[in-house]
Amino acid sequence: MAGNSFGTLFRFTTFGESHGPAIGCIVDGVPPRLPLDEAFIQGFLDRRRPGQSRFVTQRQEPDAVRILSGVFEGLTTGTPVMLEIVNQDQRSRDYGEIKDRFRPGHADWTYQAKYGIRDHRGGGRSSARETASRVAAGAVARRVLETAPAPLTVRGALVQIGPHKVDRSRWDWAEVERNPFFCPDADTAALWADYLDGVRKAGSSIGAVVEVVASGVPAGWGEPIYDKLDGDLARAMMTINAVKGVEIGAGFAAAELSGEENADEMRAGPDGRPLFLSNRAGGILGGISTGQDIVVRFAVKPTSSILTPRRTIDTAGHETEIVTKGRHDPCVGIRAVPVGEAMMACVLADHFLRHRALVGAPGPVGDGSPLGDGDPVGG
């Protein structure tokens, strides 16, 4: 089975190479009569767009999205939503030298080994440019989530660059939008700016950790056993370029906790629902949302495109070295923040629809009159 689709009910399929004519996706399973236009999607793409600060790649791409189907007079129609982003700044001359050499840490060798052919221009399909399509799909997912029974937010932040973790006692979501790192603390952001300038000037790169939090997710989403909400989130995040680890709630720290420390106790909350006294579970138990915040973190490795010569082989099997010039991110974890948010939104939209299929729930709108007001009939 081909591997370029994500999701079951809310499902998107992406296409496109870094230096081909265009990238984009078809989003299938979008409920009808949701408001959707290009400006809404563009807002999310702009957060991920390259060239916005000195800490990310200087490739110039407007990443202008165009809706080619599935929307009529400003509303989704229930048919597939096609989103296309034309590639502008291809500058393929930068990539000539990687045509015949495998860059360490990149997918050059594995694509060659798997397919016996490789679009070497900018990494081709394996380029992180593909994540723009995810962000576009994520915007549509947010429209779907707006029809959930209660308000729901999905937000991400960078919480670690190299050895420098964010000071959680100073966490401020509003700050995330004010600095070029999606950092929830201004002081940490200042520290990171200095640190990353050093990395950048050295032609090096550094890893990072991203945290994504969904608030307002009702209890009950997730489909045990193999489509657990945390299983789907783990897959979602691990498929983002350069991600090497994913954890939920306490995550790897749970290995050092006792049962007493780890299990979140409950008191009586509103409407007979539990009020949890902690959230080591990260909002998921048994693969199903608890009603608490869903908290996911993922580790992003440093980009392997650096200025230090590295030992490798060429396509003829001979030993050689390579230096990856071009325009690259000193910390690709930064731009992974909106991508992680998008994947979280897509996973939640999918599970919202799946849960609705299983147990039923009111749809987005409808006063019951079948004709003339856009309300579906018949079940």
Compute the distance between CA of residue 179 and CA of residue 371 in angstroms, rounded to an integer.
Answer: 49
Residue (93 or 259) nearer to a second copy, CB: 259
**Residue 156 sits in the site that holds a second copy (CB under 8 A):** no
Residue (178 or 197) nearer to a second copy, CB: 197
Please list the residues that pair with 154 across neighbouring strands: 214
Cβ 277 to a second copy, closest distance in Å? Answer: 7
**Residue 182 sits in the site that holds a second copy (CB under 8 A):** no
Residue 203 region by backbone torsions, left for phi larger than 0, else alpha for psi between -120 and 50, else beta: left
From 223, 252, 172, select the one nearest 7 (Cα to Cα): 223
Compute the distance between CA of residue 138 and CA of residue 346 in angstroms, rounded to an integer.
Answer: 6
Residue 92 is labelled as binding a ligand = no
Residue 278 is labelled as binding a ligand = no
**Residue 129 sits in the site that holds a second copy (CB under 8 A):** no
Number of residues near a second copy (by CB under 8 A):
182
Cβ 150 to a second copy, closest distance in Å? Answer: 7
**Residue 191 sits in the site that holds a second copy (CB under 8 A):** no
Angle between helices 336-359 and 229-238 in degrees, nearest 10: 150
Compute the distance between CA of residue 85 and CA of residue 49 in angstroms, rounded to an integer.
Answer: 12
The residues near 213 (Cβ < 8 Å, ≥ 6 apart) are 154, 155, 156, 293, 294, 295, 296
| Binding letters toward a second copy, positions 330-359, x by CB under 8 A | ---x------------------xxxxxxxx
174: helix, strand or coil: helix
With CB under 8 A as the contact rule, the residue among 42, 57, 126, 188 that binds a second copy is: 126
Cβ 12 to a second copy, closest distance in Å? Answer: 9
**Residue 157 sits in the site that holds a second copy (CB under 8 A):** no
**Residue 174 sits in the site that holds a second copy (CB under 8 A):** no
From 267, 291, 297, select the one nearest 355 (Cα to Cα): 291
Cβ 153 to a second copy, closest distance in Å? Answer: 15
With CB under 8 A as the contact rule, the residue among 91, 251, 326, 327 that binds a second copy is: 251
Compute the distance between CA of residue 177 and CA of residue 234 in angstroms, rounded to an integer.
Answer: 25
> Which pair of structure tokens corresponds to residue 87?
């590639």
With CB under 8 A as the contact rule, the residue among 151, 163, 169, 194 that binds a second copy is: 163
Residue 304 is labelled as binding a ligand = yes
| Binding letters toward a second copy, positions 269-308, x by CB under 8 A | --xxxx--x--xxx-xxxxxxxx-------xxxxxxxx-x
Residue (88 or 178) nearer to a second copy, CB: 88
Span between the terminal Cα atoms of the chain, in Å = 32
With CB under 8 A as the contact rule, the residue among 38, 310, 326, 327 that binds a second copy is: 310
Segment near a second copy (CB under 8 A); pick from 36-44, 135-143, 178-186, 310-318: 310-318
Residue 369 is labelled as binding a ligand = no
CA dihedral sign of residues 24, 29, 35, 40: negative
Residue 286 is labelled as binding a ligand = yes
Residue 14 region by backbone torsions, left for phi larger than 0, else alpha for psi between -120 and 50, else beta: beta
159: helix, strand or coil: strand
Residue (180 or 245) nearer to a second copy, CB: 245
Residue 285 region by backbone torsions, left for phi larger than 0, else alpha for psi between -120 and 50, else beta: beta
Residues 2-61 that bind a second copy (CB under 8 A): 2-6, 8-11, 13-17, 20-24, 26, 28-29, 31-33
With CB under 8 A as the contact rule, the residue among 189, 199, 214, 294 that binds a second copy is: 199
Residues 56-115 that bind a second copy (CB under 8 A): 66, 68-70, 72, 75-82, 102-107, 109-115
Name the burial class of residue 229, with classes exposed (0-12), middle (13-18) and buried (19+) by CB atoms within 10 angstroms of its CB: buried
From 6, 9, 42, select the one nearest 338 (Cα to Cα): 42
Chain mean position to CA 155: 11
**Binding residue numbers for NADP(+):** 48, 54
**Binding residue numbers for FMN:** 125-127, 241-242, 286, 301-305, 327
